[in-house]
Amino acid sequence: MRVAFQGTEGAFSEEALLKTFPEAIPVGFPTFHQVFSAVTTGEAEYGVVPVENTTAGIINQTYDLLLETDLHVIGEIVLKVEHCLLAPKGTTLESIRKVKSHPQGLAQCDGFIARYKLEGIPVYDTAGAARELAEHPEPGMAAIASRRAAERYGLQVVLEGIQDFTGNYTRFFVLARHDEPRREGPYKTSVVFTTRHRPGELLAALQAFADQGINLVKLESRPRRDPDKPFSPIFYVDFEGHAEDPGPSQALLTLLRRASFVKVLGSYPAALGWGLGSK
């Protein structure tokens, strides 16, 4: 089974993928667009993409692509992310002046980068930064990536655990072309919607969930990609329960009447130990 992820071997996305699909063949792609395309065309059976991080926030491109494509969210994965400072063997901390990584990796280590007065250089992937450094070492250059990437590409771990917060977790969605059969255990549902530009419309939309006693576990807004309505918001909501359950299904029917646009991204098993599993 082929499962797509953004990045190269040793990436945190690959680690999350193997956590859920240990027997899968991971297939790395340079961009999120290519991951979504691979799943859409059947080149990969599933895709694993990051959606948010406890330090750096949401991954905007993932949310935009979820809106623009017809893929279904069929699972979530939560991975604790431990960043390491990697360099060619023999490199000292004092000699490092620049560090390259994915923009999210740089953001999650922003305090460390500032403390050591390093220049952050964004690249498309954490593990890709490690591979590039191993293949083309530069004086004073290091990379921020995983210990797995250091082992894979023969780099030295100069420092480990350099993320700004010890509770640094990334949440991933599992994508598929079709919904999966329902399993046992608690579920979550992700929905995207827009409201009319009038006072109280968002409150009225969210009241649909409160009336059914449904707990919202995420509410995020993004500007719509509408040239005629710049900065008009679109809302992403995660709530407890499956879309086919009596309460959620009634809430979604009410939301359809109150909102100007609604799209259910998917209902999926909640990651244990996170959100629902923390009760």
Nearest to 77 by CA among 124, 24, 41, 117: 24
Does residue 273 carry a pLDDT above 50? no
Q: Which residues, 6+ apart, have CB-to-CB distance to 265 below 8 Å?
A: 66, 72, 73, 190, 191, 192
pLDDT bin (cut points 50, 70, 90) of residue 201 is: very high
Reported confidence tier of residue 231, pLDDT bands at 50, 70, 90: confident
Range name among 159-168, 198-207, 218-227 with the lowest pLDDT average: 218-227
CB crowding 200-218: b at 16 or more within 10 Å, else e: eebebbbebbeebebeebe
Average pLDDT in the 234-261 region?
A: 96
Res 208: pLDDT = 96
In degrees and rounded to multiples of 5, residue 210 shows phi and psi of -60, -40
Looking at residue 113, its amino acid is: I
Q: Which of 21, 29, 172, 193 is catalytic?
A: 172
What pLDDT is attached to residue 52?
Answer: 94
| pLDDT recorded at residue 182 | 86
Q: Assess whether 41 carries a catalytic annotation.
A: no
> Cα separation of 29 and 128, whole Å?
11
Per-residue pLDDT tens digits for 138-166 = 999 999 999 999 999 999 999 999 999 98
126, 144 Cβ separation under 8 angstroms:
yes
Residue 18 pLDDT more than 90? yes
170 is catalytic: yes
Tell me which of 55, 62, 126, 170 is the catalytic residue: 170
pLDDT value at residue 272: 61
pLDDT at 206 over 60: yes
32 phi/psi in degrees, rounded to 5: -65, -40
Whole-model pTM?
A: 0.90
- On average, the pLDDT of the chain sits at 93
Residue 276 is predicted with a pLDDT of 40
Instruction: Name the E strands within 180-260.
Output: 187-194, 216-223, 233-240
Checking if the pLDDT of 226 tops 80, the result is no
| Strands annotated E in 70-179 | 72-80, 84-87, 98-101, 119-122, 141-145, 156-160, 169-176
* Spacing of C-alpha 82 from chain mean position: 16
pLDDT (0 to 100) of residue 184: 82
Residue 193: predicted pLDDT: 96
**What pLDDT is stored for residue 274 in this prediction?**
46
Percentage of residues in the chain with pLDDT exceeding 90?
A: 87
